[in-house]
Amino acid sequence: MLDIKFIRENPDVVKNACAVKGFDDPTDAILALDARVRELKTITQNMTAEKNRITREIPAAADKAPLIARSKEIGAEIAADMAELAQKSDELNDLMHRVPQIPDANAPLGRDDADNIEVCRVGTPREFDFAPRAQWDLLDMNNWWAPEKIAKLCGTRTYALMGEAAELQLAIETYVIQKLIQKGFTLVECPALTKPETIFNAGHFIGADMSVMNDDVFMLTGTDRCLAGTSEIVMNSLHTGEILNEKDLPIKYAGFSPCFRKEAGAAGRDTRGLVRVHQFNKVEQYVFCTPEQSDEMHEHLLSNLCEIMQDLELPYRVIANCTGDMGFNKVKMNDVEAWVPSENTYKELGSCSSIGTFQARRTNTRYRANDGTLQFCATLNNTGIAVPRALVPVLENHQNADGSVNIPKKLQPLMGGRTKIGGAHK
């Protein structure tokens, strides 16, 4: 969320952010409520002071009745004003949680993903001398999954990898984790089980009513828990209420966890195969830093994912997401998309996001600057790798005519030295 002082002093900036991101504009209502809340606070403070003065005068007064009557009258007025103050404060709190983060001045303007801008392409899509198979065909012919059986057991949008495909997925996860550790990230094996307020504090949902999350988040009925859609959720709250030291920043975490998403808003999209499933594993990069370090950290996280694409020997491109596609809590965002031969297009494998102090204000995560002042941390996140989604371009780009799949060189040591899996070599 934003600082109310910033909103008071920069209403036009906030209005513009709402407009370019495509959200309703609560700025005027916030300013009106803020003024009334501050007025009520002053009124109740003054009236409480008067009531206390009268209370002190009552013991020495010759005629106590008028003072007692006035004290009761003031008490009733204070109670009414306090009730209004509580109501207005709740309304203000809800609207404050409806203000989107201010986008970076250099972010492309646009309404949706059609207005995103391609920054660069790396690698050339492979020209096959045979008709390349789609992910599900490769999985079928190599007995690497059993979708109908798993759907009967576990429901739709679930999967179970088997044999060499499961080994390959584990190798990808392990490789990325080891790479990030070598780059100074601290590995955090995060629980997927968390509390709704932890998800709320990550700032992905609008308003103060946490029931808005029910369409996207698996709530565990009868408990105070739910299932997180990314380890970002837990890592964002790791330092809730703490005061860090500037000399210790940036703090870089590599979170690994199973992730759970209802995907309620994605009906009809990528329902076949491994792209859009209810449960998956993800390695997530997450950083706490000073606002001044944020741009450097954004490039660091982005370059890490680009290196991983190259290590997996995948053609990819980097996208600058426009204001209407970057989401509620982001300052700027870059998608990294890998080439998927069966669809003849690039598909998103990760999103690098700068959040500014938006999340840290919700968790009250601050640092003591070198000049002694307390400041809110900036936070950033980017995918390290998400599987089985990333397995799709790996299988399709590295397939052979007989249905076998070449293993990228960087992964071969984690696959027992094998250079290919599946197909006729079995």
For residue range 190-237, what is the model confidence (pLDDT) as tens digits?
A: 999 999 999 999 998 888 888 888 888 999 999 999 999 999 999 999
Rounded to an integer, the average pLDDT of 303-311 is 98
Please state the domain extents for the chain.
4-96, 113-425
Q: What is the pLDDT of residue 272?
A: 77
What's the chain's Rg over C-alpha atoms? 27
Domain 4-96 and domain 113-425 have a common topology:
no
For residue range 9-18, what is the model confidence (pLDDT) as tens digits?
A: 999 999 999 9
Please say if the pLDDT value at position 354 is more than 60: yes
On average, the pLDDT of the chain sits at: 94
Q: How many helices (H) and strands (E) does the chain have?
A: 12, 16
Query: d(Cα 195, Cα 182) in Å, to the nearest integer?
Result: 32
- The label of the residue with tokens 């999954």 reads 145
**Cis-peptide into 250, omega within 30 deg:** yes
Q: What is the pLDDT of residue 80?
A: 96
Write the CA distances from 280 to 83, 183, 259, 314, 389, integer angstroms. 47, 24, 5, 21, 8
* Percent residues over pLDDT 70 in the chain: 97
Residues 113-425, CATH architecture = 2-Layer Sandwich (3.30)
For residue range 329-345, what is the model confidence (pLDDT) as tens digits?
A: 999 999 999 999 999 99
Chosen CATH of 4-96 out of 3.30.70.260, 1.10.287.40, 3.10.129.10, 2.60.40.1110: 1.10.287.40
DSSP 141-185: HTT-B-HHHHHHHH-SS---B-HHHHHHHHHHHHHHHHHHHHTTP
- Residues 14, 99 contacting (CB under 8 angstroms): yes
Phi/psi of residue 298, nearest 5 degrees = -60, -45
Q: What is the pLDDT of residue 269?
A: 56
Please say if the pLDDT value at position 264 is more than 80: no
Name the more confident of 209 and 397. Answer: 397
pTM (predicted TM-score): 0.92
So which residues are the catalytic ones?
A: 261, 276, 348, 351, 389
For residue range 125-143, what is the model confidence (pLDDT) as tens digits?
A: 999 999 999 999 999 999 9
